[in-house]
Amino acid sequence: EVQLVESGGGLVQPGRSLKLSCAASGFTFSNYGMHWIRQAPTKGLEWVASISPSGGSTYYRDSVKGRFTISRDNAKSTLYLQMDSLRSEDTATYYCATGGADWGQGVMVTVSS
Amino acid sequence: DVVLTQTPVSLSVTLGDQASISCRSSQSLVYSDGNTYLKWYLQKPGQSPQLLIYEVSNRFSGVPDRFIGSGSGTDFTLKISRVEPEDLGVYYCFQATHDPWTFGGGTKLELK
């Protein structure tokens, strides 16, 4: 059974950093591109970033380019999202996903002073 | 960026009714390989989105055949025949043909 478990969320002040993790199991992690998708409170879904199976290629939405870094450790079957210079508009539940049917349960990030 | 416009924003139905959701794209979603990377997800309250349909009309494993996806190019539709209680929630269309990937604004399916 595929499992994706996010962690690392919490309350952080504007301008500070946070690193999210997503532990994957139940499939060959290194074969799949992985993605972060977020959902602001009471809002819709928004794609944030993607990474290729090897980690050699990364993609970001414009509003997070230069502030967020997606990475992966295939030996640990773990996906990461380093979030720097956080803004209030980054407040959301962050989901990791395989790009198909598999999503984690989400982790909440609140950016507020 | 590709804009996906979903209508209606909310839909009130009686159990057993048919429901229809439209997703209109600002650009053709046909990729250079000939495939159309348009998916439909359902997000139930308090849950992560669950995949219903991929590549316009293919039902994901375990999805009942009352869910039917159709369309081409820029116009897509999700039809739900005989709505059941477990079908209630917010439906999103999603495209992965063009970067950045984008979602529609969502359609809330609720009971009348």
Rounded distance between C-alpha atoms, residue B107 and residue B112, angstroms: 15
Distances (CA, A) of A112 to A24, A25, A63: 29, 33, 18
Burial class (CB in 10 A: 0-12, 13-18, 19+), A53: middle
Between residues B111 and A67, the one the model is more confident about:
A67
Contact between B94 and B24 (Cβ < 8 Å) = no
**Test mutation, A47, A50, A95, chain B, max B CBs within 10 A:** A47
Mean pLDDT throughout B93-112?
94
Instruction: Report the C-alpha gap between A53 and A56 in whole angstroms.
Output: 8
pLDDT per position as a tens digit, B16-71: 999 999 999 999 999 999 999 999 999 999 999 999 999 999 999 999 999 999 99
Give me the residue from B48, B99, B103 closest to A46, CB to CB. B103
What percentage of chain B has pLDDT greater than the value 90? 96
Pick the more confident residue, B11 or A101.
B11
B37 touches chain A (CB under 8 A): no
Cα distances (angstroms) measured from residue B81 to each of A25, B91, B102: 35, 15, 27
Q: How is residue B39 written in tokens?
A: 């998916």
Using DSSP, state whether A1 is helix, strand or coil. Answer: coil
Interface contact B94, partner A, CB < 8 A: yes
